[in-house]
Structure 1
Amino acid sequence: MGQQVDNDLLGEDGNASAGGDQHQFGGVWTRIKLEALEKYLGAFNTALSKQHFTRIYVDAFAGTGRCDIKVNGEKQSIDGSARRALAANPGFHKYHFIELLPRKLDALKSLAEDHPDKNIEIVQSDANTALKLLCTQYQWCNERAVLFLDPFGMHVEWTTLEAIAKTGAIDVWYLFPYAGLYRQAAKNADALDAVKESSLSRVLGTDAWRQAFYVQKRQTDMFGGDDGDERNADHREMLDFVSERLKGLFAAVTAPKVLYQGGDSKNPSGAPLFALYFAASNRNPKAFGLATKIAKDILDTL
């Protein structure tokens, strides 16, 4: 599998989801998402440092704590989200690192051993299962959390997002698989098989995408038949659909920052790969107002 084909299948440390052992490099988008997260973690902890909340960091696809990226042909190794969270100052009171692959778990365990002063819980599990369980483990009265969602392709279920939003206490950075969306939603609906349709509905939480993305083609052959529905929504309109879905679920959602295959955030090039969202679940206007202001300011500087 080539990098151009499978960028939407890559998690934080650049490993393909198929088997998890085929190494790929991330790109400039990797650095952008991690810088956004890192800046927000510092601001979040500073804002809450004088309050009596237990501050929690959750990494749903924690990886190894390191990322290999390739920018302008140059290979680099940079700190991943887990290391950046542990380095946040002020720090969190508790860290939940969720990872499924054993070899990545070993790296996380070594990372935890390097930070004996931190309260770190490492969970080997599917992220959807672990997150739904985590949302029930706290009452969310005296706790506040930041969650980093950097999935392998179309992996985050809408029901998981519902559980997160229901807590009213979790701020979410969600790297939505933009390329995965428009690749699954083929231009001609005849190419949509049951697996792709199920994936789209699972991630978007509805089958209304079918009506939003497709129109029935006019009859084109001499027998009065047609070639099936055709997608008339362009990529941006499809992303607008995602944004509206998220806004209907969370208290506040920033406009997505689209991350591209090449270039930098100011001069992007290549195909759009991801859409970085910030979503606040706390429905207190003062709380989500401050959170989204911080997130917007961060995204504007990247």
Structure 2
Amino acid sequence: MTCGKCPRPIHHWTALKLEYLDLYLQAYATAAKSAMKRAYLDAFSSCGRCVLRKSGVEIDGSALRALRAVPAFTEYHFIEIDADVADHLRANVGDNASVQIYRGDCNEVIRTRVLQRGGLSKRAASLAFLDPTGLQVHWSTVEALSRHRIDPARGRKMELLILYPYDMAAKRLMAVKGRDRTSAELRLDAFFGGREWADELRQSQLKDETDGERRVRFVDYYVRKLQGLGYKYVLAHGPLYNRHRPLYHLIFASDDEVGERIMRSVMDSGKARWIEGEMGYQPVQRPLL
């Protein structure tokens, strides 16, 4: 079976992001082992395998990395919008009764299937990996995930690891002018959950902020929105770069102090990591709990 899309070609910065995920998955699996139900949600699963553009080395993608965590999650929910890629993912996953694979837009699939009866258990200790290539994840989806677990107000919300694409997408759309401006604003509205982002942009413009200052403003803005959902711990890491060009941040939201400590360790450990296929690479080691 071939569609020219698998393995997925990736750059260094994507492989580094997978290293961060791998480190956290291993530690999370151990920390949550006492929970009877443990769930992993991947909103952009792709086909399960990647190939590094520079070296040609093939590595596991996020879905297969989640499957190799020990002890295993009791349920996996993988979403992929492309039908051919989803077929590759099914082939790479194999026969696994704990895995559900959904095809479609992540916002629609999460709302109508994953968070409905027969989908992700409300009682499961849960981690969602939201890894878009742009502004595909609507704020309403983030809100829905934060509310899904039983009694989320008492510190049991689903953990979120989010690729925050300010430089990759949000910044570019904020600069759009002319006849495409309305379409750009609607996409930003959906991503941020309203028009407050426009107020932030105006304040930044009035203060004549530098690119770096504006980046910090909009990262802080998204962090505050996650805190507004009741998350006790929200960490922002980045930006991660393509050489000297900033691309994205990783933002982590959790109610669990242990989870926060693990992720802080993960983010610190990855600042100068090698990746697979590079001289000096070492397999990830689980950080101390």
TM class by shorter chain equals: 0.7 to 0.9
Instruction: State yes or no: 1:259 paired with 2:227.
Output: no
**Any conservation in 1 of the 2:45–2:79 contact (CA below 8 Å)?**
yes
Deviating more after overlay: 88-97 vs 132-141: 132-141
TM-score norm. by structure 1 comes to 0.75
Report the Cα offset of residue 125 of structure 1: 1.8
Report the Cα offset of residue 216 of structure 1: 10
Report the Cα offset of residue 24 of structure 1: 7.9
Q: Which residue of 2 aligns with 1:183?
A: 172
Query: What is the rounded CA distance, in whole Å, between the counterparts of 2:127 and 2:80 in structure 1?
Result: 17
Q: Which residue of 1 aligns with 2:108?
A: 129
Q: Which residue of 2 aligns with 1:296?
A: 264
**Any conservation in 2 of the 1:213–1:231 contact (CA below 8 Å)?**
no
**Any conservation in 2 of the 1:30–1:69 contact (CA below 8 Å)?**
no
Q: Which residue of 1 aligns with 2:282?
A: none
Instruction: State yes or no: 1:237 paired with 2:217.
Output: yes
**Any conservation in 1 of the 2:8–2:46 contact (CA below 8 Å)?**
no
Q: Which residue of 2 aligns with 1:272?
A: 246
Q: Which runs of 5+ in 1 are unaligned?
A: 1-19, 219-229, 263-269, 283-287
Q: Which residue of 2 aligns with 1:267?
A: none
The CA RMSD over aligned residues, in Å, is 2.9
**Any conservation in 2 of the 1:257–1:299 contact (CA below 8 Å)?**
no
- Which residue among 22, 26, 29 is the counterpart of 1:45? 29
- Deviation string for 1:179-219 (max 9, x for gaps)? 21111111x8668711111111111112011121125989x
Deviating more after overlay: 120-129 vs 138-147: 138-147
Query: What is the rounded CA distance, in whole Å, between the counterparts of 1:23 and 1:157 in structure 2?
Result: 27
Report the Cα offset of residue 90 of structure 1: 0.9
Instruction: State yes or no: 1:249 paired with 2:238.
Output: no
Q: Which residue of 1 aligns with 2:199?
A: 211
User: What is the correspondence of 1:1-302 to structure 2 with a 5 Å cutoff?
Assistant: 25-52=9-36, 54-70=37-53, 73-113=54-94, 116-133=95-112, 134-137=114-117, 142-167=123-148, 168=152, 169-179=157-167, 180-186=169-175, 193-214=181-202, 234-251=214-231, 252-262=233-243, 270-280=244-254, 282=255, 288-302=256-270
Q: Which has the larger Rg?
A: 1
Which one-letter code corresponds to 1:206 in the other structure? Answer: G
**Any conservation in 2 of the 1:214–1:231 contact (CA below 8 Å)?**
no
Query: What is the rounded CA distance, in whole Å, between the counterparts of 2:205 and 2:46 in structure 1?
Result: 44
